[in-house]
Structure formats: structure tokens, C-alpha cells
Chains A and B, each alone.
Chain A
Amino acid sequence: MSLDAVINWSAFKRIVATAALSGVLAGLLLTAVQQLQIKPIISQAEVFEQAAEKASVAIDAETHVAEHLDSAQHITTEMDAHIHSHGQENEAMQHEHHANAWQPTDGVERTAYTALANVSLAIGFGLFLTAAFNWRQSSSQHTKHSANDKMDGWRVGLLWGLAGYLVFFVAPSLGLPPELPGSQSAPLHDRQLWWLFTVLMSASGLYLLVFNQQLAFKILGLVLMATPYIIGAPEPLAHEASSLQALASAFIQATAIANALLWLTLGALMGYFYKKFA
């Protein structure tokens, strides 16, 4: 059995073309906005991060001495400290690992790679959005049309973009606020897992809430959307120094605006090109 029997290639090409074009344009716009309002905050945070890295070498030496003194009297405390310092060592090693590897030089090169990353992300998001939109369009041909389904082009695209913003940015950010480089946080894998779980729950919950006519399913949708917060996001071991808090909240604001712009542009362009490529 060939793939042609199970894949609708013309629909697939339409999805890919729509997502690629919208993703490139929205990703480039994001890069421009980001350089103006997010990049300066990252640069400031990196000054703190580098200072903290230098300081932590000195602190490490001190904790070692303290641990040894402690071990004579309190074995359990020493074990606690050991586990703790192990965690820190791992983090530090991971950081060193990233720092020793190739990285783009500051300036044009770094901006170019950021643009490339943004465009890849935007095309990826665009593929999810267009696939879901295409799915919905072909489902609603057979069922009762809601007001939403009657719209087409960029207007309905904006609504889908808003949904993408809620699912991929707002929902995970409620538990794991966007972080500055060098901030204290829970282990990476726990956070990535929670991020993924939250996105999946929010997407399926929102879909049920918006597109299902039955009350029971709408309630189920709300429950799904709430689940990640009931479980709770992974908590950082230590909290930020207050000097960084102002910078951290400026960062959250800047990313909230930039990502809203990304998603609304991506959605509107998606709706526009999807109609055009019919």
C-alpha cells in the first residue's frame, strides 16, 4: 500500500506552504521586535550571570570547607549538603559544557542565528496551527456551522493565533514565567516535561471548550486546562536576588508583548495564505 492512499498530498502541500510563508514572515517580525525590546534585557542579565559565575567559584571552595567541618558532628546534614552541592555541580558542568562549545559571536552573527531560530520556531508553530485549522475546516464541512466557522481568511486566522498564544505562551508561563539567562530554576528536564504537558492539556482542553457543543465536554475541557496547575510547576531551589527581580519582570512583560505579536501575525497570515492557496 503506497503512502498516496493515506496522505492527501495536495492538502499537505497547502499546509506546508501556508505554514512556511507565514512562519518566515512572522519569525522575521519577531526578530526585529525582539532586538528592540528583549535583547537589551538579556544583555543586562548576562552581565549579572557572568559576575555570579565568577563569585560561585569562590563560594564553592568555602562550602567544601564548611561541609568537612560539619561532617565530624552531623552526618545527616553533611549528606544534605552533599546532595545539594552535587546538584549545583551538575548545573555548573552543564553550563560550562555549553560555554566551551561553539557559540555565535555577539553582534550580527548572534542576531542572524536568533533570526534562524525564530523562523524555525515560527514555522513549527505555523505547522501545528495550520494542521489544526485544516482539520477543523474539513470537519466543519459536515457539521453544523458555528459563527466562527463561517469566517475565513485573516480574521478567523487572528482567532487561531490568539488560541496559539494562549496554549503555547500564556499557559506555560503561568507556571514557569519566561526566564532570564542565569536565573535560578528547577532541573531542566522537569521544566521541559511540565511545559510539554501544559501545552498538550491546554490545546486539547481549549479545543473541547470551543468546538464541542455538549456541556459535559466543555467542562472536561476546563478540567484539562486546569490540571497542570493543580499538579504544579517545578519550583526553583532558591529564589532570585531582589536586584534581579525588576529585570525579571521587565523581561516577562517584554516577552508577553513580543509573543502576542508573533502569534497574532502568524495566525492572520496563516488564515490569509490558507485561503489564497486553496
Chain B
Amino acid sequence: MSLNISLLTRLATPQLSAVKEKVLTSLLAIALGAVLLYGAGFSEMSQLHNAAHDGRHSAGFPCH
């Protein structure tokens, strides 16, 4: 409990929470990008592989 309170106090410090906000906002966008990239470029599911085949080769991704 005491840990939670000290964490909240720290989060409430404007500068620190601004940094935290910036980091997590960027990470969320990057995670979304990684999901798209994985599906189109790396997933080994046959259907995804076959659908994205030409796109993967042309982007220079390891394909087969």
C-alpha cells in the first residue's frame, strides 16, 4: 500500500508523468505497427504467407 502511494505521488509529478506518457504512447503505436508487420511480413500461417507472398519478396523479407 505504501508503495502504491509513493508510486502515485511520483506519477503525479508533472515532468515524470509527461515522460511516461510519451514513452507509452510511442510504445503503443510501435506495438500496433509490429502487429501489422508481423501479419504481412513474418507470420508462417500458410494463407497469410501465400496472400502476402509477392509483397514479402519485394520488401526483401526472408520468405521461404
Contacts and interface: CB of A to CB of B under 8 A. Distances in A.
A104 B50 contact: yes
Contact of B51 (A97, A104, A135, A188): A104
A124 B40 contact: yes
Interface in B14-61: 17, 20-22, 24-26, 28-30, 32-37, 39-42, 44, 46-47, 49-61
Contacts of A204: none
Q: How large is the interface on A (under 10, 10 to 19, 20 to 34, 35 or more residues)?
A: 35 or more
A166 interface: no
A41 B63 CA distance: 16
Contact of B25 (A8, A103, A255): A8
Given A102-B46, A192-B42, A117 B55 contact: yes
A101 interface: yes
5 contacts: A15-B25, A124-B40, A131-B29, A185-B64, A188-B62
A11 interface: yes
A34 interface: yes
Contacts of B44: 188
Interface of B: 11, 17, 20-22, 24-26, 28-30, 32-37, 39-42, 44, 46-47, 49-64
Contacts of B26: 15, 131-132, 134-135
Nearest to B39: A120
| Interface residue SS majority, chain A | helix
Given A6-B24, A131-B26, A180 B37 contact: no
Contact of B21 (A8, A34, A188, A191): A8
B30 A94 contact: no
Contacts of A131: 26, 29-30, 33
Contacts of B49: 98, 101
A192 B46 CA distance: 17
Contacts of B21: 5-8
Contacts of A114: 52-55
Contact of B50 (A12, A98, A128, A259): A98
A259 B35 CA distance: 20
B39 A255 contact: no
